[in-house]
């Protein structure tokens, strides 16, 4: 009979001896890093993941050995390693939506003078998969990997509006549980987004995230079976006031999504570019 190993003091009993749990917790550590983090220390990882110190120490050592994390001996802190970077770029480079969408997004950014981004949901946040900026000296400085709250942003609200109702309801309940004090505002914004999406074909957020930022958003379900994504176009209120969002930027974003859909399905790009905003919208799946 094998002698049972005494658990390490402070170890996570769920993670111990469970490969699936170990994988899950290892991914939680990698997910703790955001686009704004160059390095994180052990205490940062413990606070962000809620994992025991012994578990974090053991898993970070494994992730360093595999190249998914890099450890700086001088600083005593971790950063994303080359294996993680390679994995992320492989995913983005293999995405037809990102590959085909980027030049169309850049064209829109140059036309409107504001930033254009494409992203998808990760938990209760939206994460940027691609980002394009105009040559304007005043523009949003968010990059690939940036995370935004799903219910305060045009990207997130457009995504919610396009979700299948039964799935959207589940996500909405998660959002409310995470921020119960904001329940009324959350439900009102989502309801307004659904109505706007059905009426205009796009969602607007006018100072909802930051008071000085206006944005529009459109969700898009790729025909190749890829996950639902959302595109957003936004900037400071001086460049894109409310009327500009409603009359120019919103319709322009809808046309850009129509062109992206046409290219991905092999249709004539020129025909898609001429589609009016209200014509392209399909029934939410």
233-265 pLDDT tens trace: 998 888 889 999 999 999 999 999 999 888 887
78 close to 41: Cβ distance less than 8 angstroms = yes
Name all domains of the chain by residue range, CATH numbers in brackets.
19-81 (1.10.10.10), 90-280 (3.30.450.40)
Q: Supply 233's token pair.
A: 């176009």
At residue 94, does pLDDT exceed 60? no
- Mean pLDDT of the 61-72 span: 86
Q: What is the CA radius of gyration of the chain?
A: 21
69 close to 84: Cβ distance less than 8 angstroms = yes
Q: Are strands 125-132 and 147-149 parallel, antiparallel or unpaired?
A: antiparallel
Chain segment 108-158, per-residue pLDDT in tens: 999 988 899 998 888 888 888 888 887 765 556 677 778 889 999 999 999
Q: Which of 72-81, 180-189, 268-277 has the highest mean pLDDT?
A: 180-189
pTM check: above 0.85: no
Angle at which helices 154-162 and 183-200 cross, to 10°: 70
Please indicate whether residue 31 or residue 198 has the higher confidence score (pLDDT). Answer: 198
Alpha-carbon span 263 to 272, nearest angstrom = 9
Angle at which helices 250-264 and 96-112 cross, to 10°: 150
Q: From 68, 39, 45, 40, select the one nearest 57 (Cα to Cα).
A: 45
Q: What percent of the chain has pLDDT over 90?
A: 35
């Amino acid at each position: 009979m094998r002698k049972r190993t005494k658990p390490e003091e402070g170890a996570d009993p769920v993670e111990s001896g469970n490969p699936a749990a170990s994988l899950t917790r290892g991914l939680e550590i990698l997910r703790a890093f955001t686009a704004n983090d160059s390095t994180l220390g052990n205490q940062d990882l413990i606070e962000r993941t809620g994992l025991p110190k012994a578990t974090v120490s053991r898993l970070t050592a494994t992730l360093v050995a595999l190249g998914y994390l890099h450890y700086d001996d001088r600083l005593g802190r971790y950063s994303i390693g080359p294996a993680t970077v390679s994995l992320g770029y492989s995913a983005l480079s293999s995405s037809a939506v990102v590959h085909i969408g980027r030049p169309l997004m850049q064209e829109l950014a140059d036309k409107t003078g504001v930033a254009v981004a494409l992203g998808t949901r990760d938990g209760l946040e939206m994460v940027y998969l691609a980002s394009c900026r105009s040559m304007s000296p005043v523009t949003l400085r968010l990059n690939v990997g940036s995370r935004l709250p799903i219910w305060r942003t045009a990207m997130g609200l457009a995504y919610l509006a396009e979700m299948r109702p039964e799935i959207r309801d589940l996500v909405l309940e998660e959002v409310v549980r995470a921020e119960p004090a904001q329940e009324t505002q959350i439900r009102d914004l989502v309801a307004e987004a659904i109505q706007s999406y059905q009426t205009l074909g796009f969602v607007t957020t006018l100072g909802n995230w930051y008071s000085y930022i206006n944005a529009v958003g459109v969700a898009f379900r790729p025909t190749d079976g890829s996950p639902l994504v959302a595109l957003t176009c936004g900037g400071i209120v001086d460049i894109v006031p409310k009327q500009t969002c409603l009359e120019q930027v919103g319709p322009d974003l809808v046309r850009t999504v129509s062109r992206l859909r046409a290219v991905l399905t092999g249709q004539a790009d020129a025909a898609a570019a001429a589609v009016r905003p209200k014509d392209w919208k399909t029934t939410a799946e």
